[in-house]
Each structure stands twice: as structure tokens, then as C-alpha cells.
Chains A and B, each alone.
Chain A
Amino acid sequence: METTHEALLPSVARGDTTAFESLYDRYSSTLYALLLRILSNPEDAQEVLQETFVKAWTNAKMFDAARGSEVAWLISIARSRGIDRLRSRKIRGDRENDAGREISIHSAFVESTTGADKAVQSQESSAVRSALSELPEAQRVALELAYFEGMSQSEIAAKLGEPLGTIKTRMQLGMKKLRERLQAFK
């Protein structure tokens, strides 16, 4: 899915700030959407987005294209930092304060991307939605609770009122299907 993009991280690793700015323009909207989904708070999402790109700049040399795509590497950093922030916020008990906040930002699509990037994003988005729409609802819900809410197997089982074994099986089957679909894209 990412093969139509020229990889930028190798240039970023050599200290190319122009490549870094292109990297930001290409992926910031995807990462920001993810962080908003995890944190439900624009201020926190913006802070973590900033941390994510600074870490990408510092650690670009550690990116290994043989292990996965550029966007997946960035998403992993953003998701990990987002979940860390979510957990620390839960500890502080701030979550309740944010519960009522309404975010109406989904209509603000990426303005900074180029036409070519938009075409690739649109093509990719369609393929991704196709993959996810094939998942049974129960599997998708379990995966999303783990991925976006950072919930453990036990917490998901408790939330859904299902035995732990059922939840584990659902998540494993769901991930197997996503992996098969990903291989089909390649």
C-alpha cells in the first residue's frame, strides 16, 4: 500500500530537514486522527503528535524498511505514546473531566498534503476499509478496545461481559484476518 510513496525516513536519518517536513505533511493527519481517537482531547493529541515527530527525527536511523512500512513505524510510535499518556491521565483522574468534550474535527481533511499524496491516501483508505469491514463486529470491537483504549484482555472481557477465553480467541482470529488481508494487498 505504501509502495507508491518514496520513503522519507532514510533521508530524515541523514539529517535532511526538508525530508522531515515532507514526512510531517504526509503523515501528521493520520497520526493526529489516531491520537484524537485514543485521547479524545485535542491539546493532549497535539502534544503527543509533537513528541512523536521529535522521536521520529531522533530515531529515524532505527527504522528498518524490511520489518514494515514507514507509516506503520510512525503509527507504532504515536500509538505507544498516546496510550502512555492515556494511562497517566487515568491515574491522575483527569479522564472524567474530558468525557464531556465534543470533538467535531473529522471534517477537517488534510490541507497540507499534495495531490499525489491525497490520491494515494484515498486508494489506501479504501483498501483498509475493505479489510476492516470484513471483520465480524465482535472481533472488531475487541480489537479496537485493545488498540485504542489500551485495555487488557481481562478489562475487555469485563466490559463486554464475556469470558476471557472468548475475548482472546476473538482478538486472535481478528488479527489473523487482518494479517491475511495485509498480505493480499502486497
Chain B
Amino acid sequence: MTHEEFEAIAALDAIGAATAEETRMLEEHLASCESCRRARDEFAEAATLLARDLDPVAPPPEVREHVVDIIEEEEAGEDNVIDAGRRFINPWWLATAATLFLALWGWREFGIRVARENIRTQQAQIEELKSANALLQDQKQKLSVEMSALAAPGTRSIALSGQQISPSASARVYLEPEKRRAIVFFQNLPSNPKDKSYQLWIIRADQPNPMSAGVFDVADNGSASIVIENLPVATEMKALAVTLEPRGGVEQPTNTNFYLMGNS
């Protein structure tokens, strides 16, 4: 995948709309890409504009009191350790008590720090497991959708054939009319340049303009697949076509150089 593709995922991730698989791929890439990390941070900041657009609403005063109480109790818990040491002030026992106190205090502090570190580590592990679980659920759902689509009795397939610009390319659309859903498998398409994306268009009988059905990139082996949801009812679909468009897709096709085309 290109940096631009990862940036597009980062845009979706910032509003929680990236799929678990996309988020996993993005996280892997960010580990070694400073520019995409910066883009991720900028998208995350930009997403908060949606929240900052809301009219501020003052919460009830008791929420503030409760929050401050919790924080102060936490602080007091740490201060008590220090207070406990002062009870040992005695001229005869001072040296022993001071040594003992320091040892106990140090041990307690060390214990607290270790416990906090353990809690943080466990919380991080829980978050990681949650992410991994979400990813697996997402993959399971995707596979389930694909399997059910392919196996459904009402599923029919449409072949898209390569056009002049890519004669060896092909695609097969598995259409579930009842669920208004389709899975499309593309083969032998040339790799798209970094600044371009392939875009699948539905040409409808009831509308003059084509409708975008999805943007995709082609792997090195020339293959790709996408799931289309909320398809128009079959009678409204006249044909399907694929063009090469600016990165991320456009509202309407910018050219008529079709890579694939087929009638529904």
C-alpha cells in the first residue's frame, strides 16, 4: 500500500470508521513511517473539530466536586505514607526509626510504583486484546458475508470483461439481489499509480449519472476484491464499469477510459 492509501485509512480511523483490518494495517505501517504518523495525528486533531463545534454545556456542579474528591483522595493516600513516618520522632530511637522509616517508605513507594506499572501494563494488554478481538470479529464477519453471498441460492454472477486499455483484465460480480449486496473479484488489472485509485461505477437505468460503488487498489498480482452494500435494485442497474481516478475517488468519473465493463 502507498502512503496516500495509509493516509486515507488514517482519515477514517480518526473518526472511528476504519475497519479493524484497516486499523491493523495502519498501525503496522505507522511503526516505521514518520510522515504517516504525523498525518494520523493531524487527522485525529481535525476530527475533534466535530466536537468543538457543539455548544458548550456546563455539567452540574456536583460532578466537579465528585471528580475533585476522587483526585484528592488519591493524593491523600500517598501523603499518608509520609505522615506515618512522623510518629516515630523520638530522640532515643531517632536513628533507628529514621532508617526503618526510610526503608519502609522506600519499600512502600517502590511497591506502589511497581503496582502502578503492572496496572498500566495490564491495561495496555487488555486494550491490545480488545483490538485483536475486534479485528478477528471483523474478519469473521467479512468472511461470513462473502461465504453467505457465494453460497446463497439467489446469488447470480455478472462477468466484467477487459476493455481496450486492459484486454486481459476480468472481474466477476456475485450479486445478492435480496440483500442488495455484491462481492466483486478483480483479476489481471494493471497496478494503479500511487496518485490514482480504481473506481467501480454503477450505470443506472433510472439516473443519468453513474454512481460510485467503491474505490480500490490492485495488488502486485493484479487482483483485488470489494464488497458493495446497498446496491440499487437489479432492475435499475444497467451496467458496471471501472475507471482510473484521482487517489481516493471522485463523485463522478473524470474520463471514459474503461478498464472493465459488463452489463448486469
Contact = CB atoms under 8 A, between A and B. Distances in A.
Given A68-B44, A161-B230, A30 B213 contact: no
Contacts of A146: 12, 15-17
A29 interface: yes
Nearest to A183: B42
A181 B47 CA distance: 11
A171 interface: yes
Interface stretch (B64-72, B98-106, B217-225): B64-72
Interface residues of B, number: 57
Given A79-B51, A132-B50, A182-B46, A165 B214 contact: yes
Interface in B13-44: 14-17, 19, 39, 41-44
B106 to A, nearest CB: 19
A178 B50 CA distance: 9
Contacts, number: 203
A119 interface: no
B16 A30 contact: no
A175 B11 contact: yes
Contacts of B227: 164
A110 B248 contact: no
9 contacts: A34-B51, A72-B48, A156-B17, A164-B214, A168-B249, A169-B215, A179-B11, A179-B46, A182-B46
Interface of A: 15, 17, 20-21, 24-25, 28-30, 32-34, 36-37, 45-46, 49-50, 53-54, 57, 67-69, 71-72, 75-76, 78-79, 83, 105-106, 108-112, 121, 124-125, 128-129, 131-132, 143-144, 146-148, 150-154, 156-158, 161-166, 168-169, 171-173, 175-176, 178-179, 181-183
